[in-house]
Structures are given as C-alpha cells and as structure tokens.
Chains A and B, each alone.
Chain A
C-alpha cells in the first residue's frame, strides 16, 4: 500500500508539472507583466536574418525604454507560418505582434477579429508620415476602411531577362508589349529550339499562391493596376483579364513555356525570362556569380497588351508586414505599436533592414531619400525594385482569397495552358466560379 501511495504521489506531481508547463494564464499568453514593466512577444519571420534584425532593434529599444521588455522569437512553421499563427491564436498563445503577414492572410485574420486596426493607435498618422509611406499604404486599406497591416517591405515583382541571350537575338533591352515578347520568342526558337521563354511549372497547377507571380503580375500590368476585388465584390477588368489569358495561350501555342519542373532554368539559360524578386540576388551571388546586372540579365516591368502604354504598367507587390493581435492586452498592443513606430521613424533602421534582407522597405521615397541612394547606387539591381514600389499592387484583401486564387488557376489559367481553352470562356467560367465562392 505504501508503494501504491508513492506512485499516486508521483503521478500527481507529474500531472501538476504538466499543468504548470501548459498553463500560461489567460491574457498573459507568451508574455508576462511585472510591476511597471510591459512585456510582450514579437514573432519574427522564420529566417535567421529577419530574426537577427528584430532582435537588434528590440535590444536597442529596450536600452532606451527600460519599462518595456520585448521577447523576439521566430514564428513556428508547422508546416507553414500561417498554420503556426492559427494554432497559436486557437490555443491562446499568440504573440502581441508579428511580422511576415501578407495582406490576404491579414484579411482572413481580420475577418476573425484576431488582429486589430492599426490606425486606431496613438501615433499612427505620425508613423505614416515619418516613414514617408502615404502612397504605398493607400493601396493597403482594407474594404472595411481599416488598416490592419503595416507593410515592412514591398517587392515590386519584375521580370528578369537574359540580356546576353537577348543580345544574341538582336535586342538590347527586354520587350515591353505582348507582340514584342512573342517576336523575341519566335527568334529564340529559331536560334535555340531547345530553349524556352519562361519556365514555370506552376502555370499548370492550381496552387493559389502561385497566381501572384504569374497571373497577377500580368493582369495588374494589363489593367493598369485595376482592382480585382472590392470588398466582397468581383470587379476585375474583363478586357484586361481576357488579354492576359490570351497572352498565356499564345506563349504556350508557340512552345515558349516550359511547364515541367526545372532546376535554375533562368540561370542555366534553359529559359530567358523569369518572374524575379530581389531575394534571388544573394542566392545568385553565392551560386551563380556570373549573373551580372545589365550584362547577363536585365530587369523589366511585366509586358502589357499592344494597345496599352508600357510606361503605365503596374505589377504585383510581394509584400508582407506587421500586425498586432487582439489577444494581447491594450497595454501590450500600444507598447508593441510604440516599438514599431520607434523602429520605422528612423530611415537608418529601414536601411539596415534593406542591407540585411535585400527586401526593399515599403516607403514612397526609397529611390529618392539620401539615406538609401548610396546603397542603391552600390546595388543597381535593386534600384528598379525601389522605383516601382508605388506601382506595385498588393494581394487582394478578401477573406476568401485562397479559394478565389485557386479558381483563377482551376477555371482559367490552367486549362488555357493545358488544353488551349478559349480565353473568353475561361474568364467567364472563372468569374462564375469566383462568384460561387463569394456566395
């Protein structure tokens, strides 16, 4: 019986230990509050560079503000960072603030009241004007009039072109209109029948996130940045959409698309055009040092239909930002906002971010502000990204974004490329499918 009691005691202790480990005490999730000190958790993107940047910022801020304690940690990826955030919210262990949030995911979070509007914080207007981001953030306003995300960086997605191969074909710069692209493709096939214009296996997959880097790049260019959705209403420009799909069809019919998975097709010259974000440059510096800007490759905005002006072309903004979570206390939320305001009120911090991550800060003045000019002169390949931040359209802000973008692939883009579906019919089918999703 004695042994039995000992076992009971041991089990009870184990249970208490388990309970102690799992319980974090309601609102104090991921944070704790000592007398006069506000503590909060900051989730950085799950990569060492961004985590290091935010740790550096938090340390500097805490030195100046002794009553604030910030715990910076990488957000869990299980298997994606979005899933990690949802799980944290569901289990009541969300941080006060996190970065790495796309506008589309923010729309899902906002619809679930999991994040709070930023414009309601004291000092918001000051932050926007000090960071010189009035124009950039104007496209970020959600359909309900609120501003849930503060964009940190904005990659105005561009197309990379193999300038060395273009020169062999008799061109000194990338093509700007659909017919110019097809002409380049025709010459490419004549000279190099085994090469392709664009290698992109996602074109035949319904993967929703892939649409940002194919359909939306070209649609935004064709429509001059016209809205695709306004709140819960589908308002896309049919003419621009059909022309975009027709362009994809023409590329496929001329054997210019490689839809099989290929390793580094642009770098190896298998394809001469690629959808390109600035995150690729450090990879090239390490693995493909022969890739030199304006020698081996050039950059351009997406091509536009023949009747459109390439000077007015827009593109897709691969952009992510900060959100503040509703689970945190009001005090933690304001403290988190004050920290963000402190970081972004100093252009030097944006410059440090730019240098560390290669991701262009979401500022209107990136290509004109003296703080950045010398860095851009040293890295001319980033200049065009900086200049086009105001021309880049962020993802749609509908909570059904995943389903909507899945339908763009399933009903329109995939069948146009795989089976040559008529672009107009593909567009109409896509519209019906999206309206079905929105019901």
Chain B
C-alpha cells in the first residue's frame, strides 16, 4: 500500500476514530482514574484511595447480588429470546408474501420506550387489575412483582417481548441465505421435518446464533430501565442489576468513585462472560464446519 492510500485510509477512518476517542477512550481513561478516588465528581476535594473501592465492591452484598442476578436473567432471557425469535423468523420465512411488513411489525416493540412498557406491565400486574381479579376468582393470589422468583421472570419476559422481533430479523436473514439445494440434497438422503431442522437449518444458522447469543448475553449486563421502574431492584435484591447498583452509588449516594469501580468490575465480568460464550459458540461452529 502506498503512502497516499494509507493516508486516505486514515482520513476515511478518522470520523469513527474521533467518535471513539471522544465517547469511549477518554471516558475509559477518566473512569480508570475515578475508580481509584473517593471523588463524588462535584466536590472540589478528593483523595486517591488505591484499590479500596474495588475491595469494597467485591465484598458488597448488593454487588454480589447484581453479579448473580445478571446470570439469573441470562438463564431466563437468552433461551426464551432465542427460541422466540427463531420461531418468529421461521413463521415469517414460511410466509408466501408480505414478509417485510410482518418483520417490521414484530420489530416495533424494540422501538418502544422501556419506561412506557414498564408502566403498562405495572398496570396489568397490579393487585386490582382485571387480570389479577380473575386469577383470584380461581384462588390464585399472585404477587407478580413482590416475589423473588416471579419478578425477574416478568422482567425477562418483558425484555424478550421487546427484543424478539429484532433478533428474529437476524435469524430471518440467516434462513433466507440457506441455499435450497442443501435442503433438496438432504431430502434425498432422508432428512425431512425435525431432522431437517435439527441437522441442516440449525447448523446453517450458526452465524445468526452467534450474533444473537452474543448480543443477548451482552444485553444482560446493561439492564436498567425495567427494574428501575418496576421493582427498584427488589424484592430482596432479586432484580438488582449492575446498572442499578452503579446508578445508586454514583447518583443517589454520590459515591462516583466507588460507582465507577463497580462499572470497571462490571466491564471485566461482561468481557469475560462474552469471551466464554464466544469460545463455546466457536467450538460449536467448528463442529459444523464453520471457521
């Protein structure tokens, strides 16, 4: 590559590089600094506290709760959203026409405000809603948002409803790109119905699975709006997420240094979790011939 081409390459990349510098690199360096202080970001005074913020965070009950709650959400959300979006993609894929219209229709919840959706869910699940009145007629008095088991499930289902249309688009593009010839030759070998789905479609959808799984796993570390509006992290920290803890510490209790340390730990945990999922998915892909 000659110098002119290299310069032009840098030039074309520069808008993104400047964007990254302003919105990622500088905040990251700033966060690394803040995490080692007891600063609340508004006071003129602060001290360096070494690793104290990190040590406190690692022994904090609420941080531990956020750690486990994230994996609990993951266990509920990832299978539900993958199964749901795959099913939806399959339905749309099998439509003879108007695929675009249905794809857009199912994508709409993704654009819905998390606050608005949470308010609606709150109304539906309230004690005196028609839904709960009906359940009580059958002897079922359910505390949807007050139960440590049901509250996370409600939030996971809400999020699945929001993201299922978006992920379905990714699966749909995967389904559309599977050549018909593969199915035809598989049919000659006797692979039809479930066998065809299991041994041909699923492995051929590996790139979509890879993308959707990584996106879904990453999403679990950034949950905020739904528990903030619906449960405030309760009951008994059952829906207390990383972002809620960071927000509470940095903006409610004005412990910005400590909150940032939690954010740094959150980034490391997120990175490691995604790395593990990536490796597992790659192994699975390799077994089916994907490099």
Contacts and interface: CB of A to CB of B under 8 A. Distances in A.
Contacts of B285: none
Interface pairs A-B: 4 shortest CB-CB: A112-B43, A262-B127, A83-B251, A90-B41
B80 interface: no
Interface string A241-258: 000000000000000001
A265 B43 contact: no
Contacts of A82: 251-252
A86 interface: yes
Given A80-B251, A205-B234, A11 B41 contact: no
Given A4-B8, A11-B11, A204 B128 contact: no
Nearest to B8: A4
Contacts of B79: none
Contacts of B252: 82, 208, 402
Nearest to B136: A194
B44 interface: yes
Interface stretch (B118-126, B169-177, B204-212): B118-126
A112 B4 contact: no
10 contacts: A1-B4, A4-B8, A11-B18, A112-B40, A112-B42, A205-B232, A259-B146, A260-B127, A264-B128, A402-B253
B235 interface: yes
Contacts of A402: 252-254
A7 B126 contact: no
A86 B126 contact: no
A86 B146 contact: no
A111 interface: yes
A403 B253 contact: yes
Nearest to A437: B253
Contacts of A66: none
Interface string A197-211: 001010011111000
A235 interface: no
B43 A113 contact: yes
B15 interface: yes
Contacts of B122: 261
B35 interface: no
**Which of A82, A205, A270 gathers most chain B CB within 10 Å?**
A205
Given A79-B228, A402-B253, A114 B11 contact: no
Chain A contact patch, size range: 35 or more
Q: How large is the interface on B (under 10, 10 to 19, 20 to 34, 35 or more residues)?
A: 20 to 34
A205 B189 CA distance: 60
Contact of A90 (B42, B146, B235): B42
A265 B247 CA distance: 30
Interface in B1-48: 4, 7-8, 11-12, 14-15, 18, 22, 40-44
A8 B11 contact: yes
B254 A112 contact: yes
Given A11-B14, A15-B18, A260-B146, A4 B7 contact: yes
Given A80-B251, A261-B146, A402-B252, 18 more contacts: A7-B12, A11-B14, A82-B251, A83-B251, A86-B41, A89-B42, A108-B254, A109-B42, A112-B40, A114-B42, A199-B127, A201-B145, A201-B146, A207-B234, A263-B127, A263-B129, A264-B128, A265-B128
Nearest to B11: A7
Contacts of A79: 228, 247
B42 A270 contact: no
B56 interface: no
A268 interface: yes
Contacts of A207: 232, 234
A8 B125 CA distance: 57
B286 interface: no
B125 A4 contact: no
Given A1-B4, A260-B143, A204 B235 contact: yes
A4 B4 contact: yes
A206 B234 contact: yes
B12 to A, nearest CB: 8
Nearest to A94: B42
Contacts of A8: 11
A199 B8 CA distance: 66
A270 B254 contact: no
Contacts of A259: 146
A65 B14 CA distance: 50
Nearest to B143: A260
Interface in A1-38: 1, 3-4, 7-8, 11, 14-15, 18
A288 B287 CA distance: 64
Nearest to B231: A205
Contacts of B44: 112-113
B43 A262 contact: no
Nearest to A115: B42
A400 B254 CA distance: 9
Contacts of A14: 15
A112 B254 CA distance: 10
Interface in A92-141: 108-109, 111-114
A21 B128 CA distance: 51
B15 A11 contact: yes
Contacts of A262: 126-128
A71 B90 CA distance: 56
Most chain A CB inside 10 Å of its own CB: which residue of B7, B15, B42, B129:
B42
Interface string B140-181: 000101100000000000000000000000000000000000
A111 B254 CA distance: 11
A268 B146 contact: no
Nearest to A1: B4
Contacts of A7: 8, 11-12
Interface string B193-232: 0000000000000000000000000000000000010011
Interface in B88-139: 122-123, 125-129
A224 to B, nearest CB: 30
Contacts of A112: 40, 42-44, 254
A266 to B, nearest CB: 11
